[in-house]
Structure formats: structure tokens, C-alpha cells
Amino acid sequence: EPGPGGAGAAAEDAAPAEPESPDQCLSLLPWDRFSAWLHCVCVVGFDLELGQAVEVIYPPHSKLTDKEKTNICYLSFPDSNSGCIGDTQFCFRFRRSPGRKVSLCCFLDQLDRDLPVYLKKDSAYYYGYVYFRQVRDKSLKRGYFQKSLVLISKLPYVHLFRTMLKQIAPEYFEKSEAFLEAVCSDVDRWPPPVPGKVLQLPIMGVIMKLRIPTYRDKPGTTPIVQNMHQADAQISMALPTVHEVDLFRCFCPVFFHIQMLWELVLLGEPLVVMAPSPSESSETVLALVSCISPLKYCSDFRPYFTIHDSEFKEYTTRTQAPPSVILGVTNPFFAKTLQHWPHIIRIGDIKLPGEVPKQVKVKKLKNLKTLDSKPGVYTSYKPYLNKDEEIVKQLQKGVQQKRPTEAQSVILRRYFLELTESFIIPLERYVASLMPLQKCISPWKSPPQLRQFSQDDFMKTLEKAGPQLTSGLKGDWIGLYRHFLKSPNFDGWFRSRQKEMTQKLEALHLEALCNENLVFWSQKHTEVETVDLVLKLKNKLLQADREHLPVKTDTLKKLQTHINDIILALPDDLQDILLKTGT
């Protein structure tokens, strides 16, 4: 399909660089740049006969299955009981239909590798970012104009897409289709989402400046993007973050339970957030998921979930224990359907407190009858750690002194970060000890295996090198670790560590091979053994490329030289065969 900002325009934008530069990769085809940021843009309206319906999908060639369209339709409108008049913004997340080919796959994977683990995209899910407008309109049969502009993306950049929608949606509702085409044309001229670079993204006369974090950033630090003065007439907006929500605002209604909620999220416990509107449910769910950062929350989470969702039956069945998910809901029906869930957070309208919130006790689940129940946390969970009174005092003092909510969020984010790091450092230290010593790596044997993770051995390390080294919090840390080791978050974290360490061993093995005199070895062995070595070395190079092993380019070049030298020392007929063979 022809598209705006085609190959020519993209190529002009791309700075001259080496062949594999991301900008040049993305200058190949129209819509490639757009696809690096968004899957598509949808307009969902209300039809008197059909109900909610997708009216427009842009670009027109974007593929969505019927199931995906149905999910988008229902998730793009607030429940009727929410009573959202005017403009509302929120976000949702839904499962992608399986078996779809992903274009640009290798390029985006390359960008994904540089992201912190909690920002890596999950290819099984899409995010929907919604701007919903509901206003009285006597000319329409229902008496209301109801429409949503929705951005569908694999990227979890909540703040970026929220800011973008704020810029474009009000104007779209006035101007309609041609405006949408112009918006998509702008996105198709954006540079690729490279982590660590300050990016300038033009959108309808405004330039958004931002920086996507990288895994090398020190956790808890956000390099500031300066709002530089533009030489031309374009307005420039600097975004302080691409993905963070206003933590303090979200946790305000459950102020006294933040530490218990951190434990529940860490342990992957089933959690429901019952809120009056999708904007409050989605922000609270996103705040919960982010509170264990830099750990990645590895279970499913749905910032806004409705009874029409394709996973509704799977998640609300009473025939098995509730799954490890966090759901954000607004329909009163859920108060009945999810009564059997062990932890429920009820929040009223999120308002920033003018005065210090009163101490709120954890409520018993049996008291949660309807959605009219008072705000609070309903659970019988007993936290493992003693309560940290200090953070509560600090935030209460901030409320009294009218400290800006951004500053309160910074304090809260730092608190969660220090708590998570105190918890995870002993695990990091123990897992690092499972790595074989470098002297065990022989170029003539397969790379050694990692030692097995032993829960008992790990527990023994806690006595001398436990969280008490970095945290003053008392309580049953051992119990918390035992519970965590059974959770999906531990499983996800450990798999990712295992993969990193195995790749490190493969890389060290490659380096050991490079430091050997392989030509000398081949002269002392038979032709069959030499050919076998060449094929193995070629496979090693392919593996290094395929799995992106952490190997220096010089090492790979050196290995290639070794391979060429060995081949040149062989008879001509073998040389011809080996030079033609890929593997």
C-alpha cells in the first residue's frame, strides 16, 4: 500500500550512517517507521443497531482479527455506570490473536535488547490508549455524541501516548478523517524508538522531546530532556518520562497499605482494583505493576477489564483458584463475580488530599458486598514485613506542607525502588555464584553448565548477606523469600538471569577458541576432524549472531580469520566445498 512519508522521505530523514544503523533499516518501506511505534489507530463509535463498532482503522492495510476488533470495541468505551461526561483518557491491554507474522521483527528486537526489563514489549499483548468523548448532542437519536480515538501499540509508553492523544484527539473530533491521515503521516516520519537517544517527534505542529530509558541507566534516575528553544516557530514539549504514571495520586486512596500492596504485587497474588472510572482503574493497575520496578511484573495485568473481554470466563471462573493477574474493573457486576478473589482494592474518585488521610484498617473480604462499599483494601493477607512508619510520616508531612504531587511521587518511587533492591540483591548475589569459574572453560569442550539453584543454599546465604545489609525493615524476610520463589515473578526473573549467564558462558567459550592457535591444531589432526572443526566454528559464528551473544566484534572477526586460514591450508577440493557451505 502506498503511504505517507514513503521510502524517499524516510531516506532523506535518515542520517548517513553504517549500513546497519536503525534509521537506515527503517528507511526501506512506507509505514515501517509508523509500525515501529504503533500498530494502528482506530475510531470506535456507537451505532444504535450494532452498539459499539470500529468505524475507522488507519492505515487501512492494518490487520486486526475479529476477536481483536471486538475486544477493542468494548474496551474503548467506559461502562455506562461510569457516567463519564466530557473527555476521558485511559488505557487497556488485550491478548493478540496467535499466529500472526510480525514485520520489522529483527529490527525491533534489536531495540528491545537495550531496554530495561520492565519496558521490554510482550509480543503476546497490545496496549490500547483511549481518548473518549461523550457530550450532549440533541441532533443525535441517543442525545449524546460518543466516540473514542484509540492508539494500538505494543509499546508500554503510557505517558507518551497519553500526551500525544491530548494533542490530537480534540482536533480530530472537530476535523475527522483527513486529520487522522495527517497524524499518521507525521508518525511515519518519526525516528525509530531507540533507547538512550533524545528523540524529537513532530505531531501536528508540536515537537515532543523525550528519551526512552536503557538498561544501563541507574535505576531511579531519569536523565532530564531539556526544553530547548526552537529556532523555528514550532512549539516544543519536553516529556519527563515516556512510561511513568503519577504514583502518589494513584496510591493516595490506599495510602496506608502501600507496603502490603508492594508485597502482593511482588508475590504475583491475584488482585482486583474496583474503581469508579476506567481512567482511575487503569492508572492504579499501572501504578501497582510499576511499584516492583526494576523487577518485571511477569503475570498478566489488565488496566481496564470488562465483562465482554474474551478472557472474562477464564479469569472469573470459580472452579479453580483465581489466576495470578491484576484486573482493573468499573462494572458493579464484578463486586459479585469476583467476591471469591483474595485481595480487592476499592478506590473512590481519586482526588489529591487537602488534608492528611485518616488511618484506614484493612477490611475483611466478607464486608465487600457491592461496589458501594467504602474505599479501602479488602483482604485477609498478613504482610511478612513490619510496617515502615517512616514513609507514611514523610508523605503525610508532604500533604500538610502542600508539597507538589510530582515531588511526592519521586519520594514514593524511591521508597519502592530501595525496598525492591534490598529484596533482590541477595538473590542476584547468590545466582552470580552459580556461574562456573573462567578457568573451567576449555576451548576443546562444550561450555560448562550453570550450577542448579538450591533454595536451601540460598536461604543459608541470607544470614550473613541478606536484606538487612541494605534495609532497616524488620519482619519475616525468610517467609517472603519462600513465597516469592514459588511466584511467576521469580520464575520470569530467574529465566532471564539464566539466559544472560548462559550467553555469557558461550561468549567466554568463543573468546577461549579465538585465543588458540587453531591452524596449528588442524595440522596435527585428520582432514575429517579439521572439517568438523570448521563446521562447528561456522555454527558458533551463526549462533553469536542469532542469539546476539555479548561478544566483541573483534573476537568475531578474529574467529572468521581463523576459519579462513584453516580452510586455505586444506586441499583445493575441500576448500571449494567449505567456502560455499553456510553451515
Instruction: Enter the pTM of the model.
Output: 0.87
Print the SS3 string covering 402-424.
CCCHHHHHHHHHHHHHHHHHHHH
Please, which residues have CB within 8 angstroms of residue 157's CB and are 6 or more apart in sequence?
212, 242, 243
User: Of the candidates 16, 181, 8, 152, which has an alpha carbon nearest to the alpha carbon of residue 91?
Assistant: 152
pLDDT of residue 13: 34
All CATH 3.30.450.200 domain ranges in the chain, comma separated: 32-239
Instruction: Write the DSSP assignment of 86-116 as a string of letters.
Output: EEEEEEEEEEPPSS---TTHHHHHHHHTTS-
453-462: long-range pairs with CB below 8 Å, 24+: 453/494, 455/482, 455/485, 457/430, 458/426, 458/427, 458/430, 458/485, 461/426, 461/429, 461/430, 462/426
pLDDT of residue 529: 83
CATH superfamily of 32-239: Longin module (3.30.450.200)
- Tell me how many degrees the CA angle 180-164-146 measures, rounded to the nearest 5: 60
List % helix, strand, coil for the chain (3-state, nearest 5): 45, 15, 40
**Cell numbers for 356:** 492528611
Half-sphere exposure of 519 (CA within 13 A, CB side): 13
Q: Cell 483458584 sits at which residue?
A: 321
- What is the spatial distance between Cα 74 and Cα 50, in angstroms, rounded to a whole number? 12
Please, which residues have CB within 8 angstroms of residue 264's CB and are 6 or more apart in sequence?
271, 343, 379, 381
56: phi then psi, degrees, rounded to nearest 5: -140, 140
All CATH 3.40.50.11500 domain ranges in the chain, comma separated: 248-498
User: Distance from CA of residue 63 to its chain's centroid?
Assistant: 22
Q: Cell 519502592 sits at which residue?
A: 416
pLDDT of residue 223: 65
pLDDT in tens, the chain (583 residues): 333 333 333 333 333 333 344 444 444 578 888 999 999 999 999 877 778 889 999 998 899 999 999 999 999 999 866 667 889 999 999 999 886 655 555 566 678 888 998 998 888 999 999 999 988 887 777 777 889 999 999 999 999 999 999 999 999 988 878 899 999 999 999 999 999 999 999 999 899 999 999 988 887 776 666 555 544 446 788 898 999 999 998 998 888 899 999 999 999 999 999 999 999 999 999 999 999 999 999 999 999 999 988 889 989 888 888 999 999 999 888 888 888 899 999 887 655 555 555 556 677 666 555 545 678 898 999 999 999 989 989 998 998 898 898 899 999 999 999 999 999 999 999 999 999 887 888 888 888 889 999 999 999 999 888 888 888 889 999 999 999 999 999 999 999 999 999 999 988 888 888 888 888 888 888 888 888 888 888 888 888 888 888 888 888 888 888 888 888 888 877 877 777 765 4
| 544: helix, strand or coil | helix
Q: Cell 491484576 sits at which residue?
A: 326
pLDDT of residue 3: 38
pLDDT of residue 253: 85
Helix (H) or strand (E) holding 45: strand 40-47
**Cell numbers for 466:** 541478606
pLDDT of residue 196: 92
pLDDT of residue 255: 83
Burial class (CB in 10 A: 0-12, 13-18, 19+), 515: exposed
- What is the spatial distance between Cα 436 and Cα 502, in angstroms, rounded to a whole number? 10
- What is the spatial distance between Cα 174 and Cα 164, in angstroms, rounded to a whole number? 17
| Residue 55 DSSP symbol | E
| C-alpha separations of 194 from 31, 211, 410 in Å | 17, 9, 25
**Cell numbers for 129:** 490508549
Under CATH, which number does the domain 248-498 receive?
3.40.50.11500
User: Of the candidates 62, 239, 47, 35, which has an alpha carbon nearest to the alpha carbon of residue 155?
Assistant: 35
| Residue 369 DSSP symbol | -
Residues in the chain, how many? Answer: 583
| Residue 31 DSSP symbol | T
Cβ distance 329 to 346 under 8 Å? no
Cβ distance 331 to 79 under 8 Å? yes
Q: Measured on CA atoms in the order 377, 380, 384, 386, is the torsion positive or negative?
A: positive
- What is the spatial distance between Cα 552 and Cα 511, in angstroms, rounded to a whole number? 9
